[in-house]
Structure 1
Amino acid sequence: MVDCGEGTQHQLRRFHVKSSKIDHVFISHLHGDHYLGLMGMISTFHLNNRKSPLHIFGPPGLDEIITQHLKYSHTQLKFPLFFTRTTTEGKNLLLELENLRIYSFPLKHRIPCTAFTFEEKYRQQKLIKEKIVGGGMAVEEIQSLLQGRDVINTDGSIKYRASEYIKEPVLPRKYAFCSDTVFDPSLVSLVNGVDLLYHESTFMEADKDRAKLTLHSTAEEAATIAKNAQVKELLLGHFSVRYIDLYPLLWEAKAVFEATHLSEEGKTYAIK
């Protein structure tokens, strides 16, 4: 889960998302709309007798806020809770799973704030069956080829070259989540070539001065980052409540970067 504002639990139930599947939570910064639902969710996990660990990644202070809540409510959680503090200095590896690396990097906002990228290590490839069937390969060797890796002999020579057994190479996928930030051209290199970029787009161009004052971005600015970073698709979000109709924000962004979408409650977006 990335960010956890008020109402998160209601939305999970509304859209039939099992909260028990949440093992890692990434909080971008300590403005209420991004983290005030976290303590409630932790309490629900406790009441539901959760046993599996919960890992929380967020800015300094978040761990203190949660531990103070637990302290003064005399709550002894029934599950392990682990905190990892994010930093606003450079790109950092936060977590490495079997097939996923998650990084953080700083954003320019009114308080310490970080973006996150989710990067696959490998993508399962489609193999040429005719070359595999009856070839006498071990299961581990086929697994290596599925991951796009050559099979190596003990002497270091190549036994099976992956490129000779793969139909069409499929590249690993990347997703970047850029929470609250003023327009920052330095983001281009950090999100370059991602498959899907979520970038906040609080304001329209007519309110650009307000965006600068509050250290937020316009939809057009988000699209400029997407275009210059050569991402595949852009997802807009974090819209100001002043806009009843969100399509003008979409149109402003599309004028710069066509492959732009509005984020909508309950909608899922496939990263291809």
Structure 2
Amino acid sequence: MGYRRWLQIISVKNVNDWNIIMEHVELVREIRCFDGTLLKPEHQANLSKIPRLYAATIDSHSDVCHDEHNRYAYRNILSTLPPSLKRLEIEHAHGPDIKIISLVKKHCPELEELILGRCTMFNRSPACDFWSSFPHDHDAYMSIDGTDAYAHSLGNELAPLKQLRLLRVGLYFVPSDIVLAHRLYHQRGLSAPATIHWQSAIPLAERTTNPPLQEPAHAEPATPVQLVSLLHRRDEDSHTEFECSKCVEITDASGRGAENSANSILRVYLPKIVCVEWMGWLTPGHLGTHSYRFPL
């Protein structure tokens, strides 16, 4: 009895684990696939062979690789899913959400919970190779611009999922330069300029002066390596409530307004949705969510 119950909730930590799991597929109800366990098509196909699979958590960090020209390219971590699936959580993805959504619509249209997590500067410290190569592209998941248009696009893609009740999206509705503003200026008691020139702002912030310097001093410009280090640095108080009055002033009202508007738009496309969650900048470690519930 204990062995059967153990197999109901299973983790795939390395590819050899598939050999054991596939001998007992009829027992598995929940599965967690660690990074690197779904790189081969035959391992991806295993998921669709689990007839009673209810929930799956997939670490998709390996969804980028180098192609034959040594350039970054997206690759599939998932190619099929069982129709029985009701809950899908994606972790640490770099690729666009549309690939996962399309897969869900095709293979498990009765899905009830969808969590679309991303690899970010807040959950990857130090930076992975991808973000070390593209330190200026974090606006892919942090922006306050075009949020309504995004919600319409997302809602249109998700509309065929008639049973979807919970949706978590790995986006922060905040200005894309808020991290630089906070770490280079707010932490020194200064307001950030409208345009932040990180090459001069980083060495300036590293100089301890009283009062803090606001104008560039004579210093070597910061390098992209220094920028990556700054962005992926964990806050010292990352496990406690995030408190920065300047960040609150800049992001709280505008962010919640954008989230509320996006929620209303999504509700039109997804009439059965009960809960929508967005990533929250003003949360411990910037890893928490803002959760909105609709009346039943």
TM-score by length of 1: 0.29
User: Greater strand share, 1 or 2?
Assistant: 1
* Bigger RCO (CA 8 Å, 6+ sep): 2
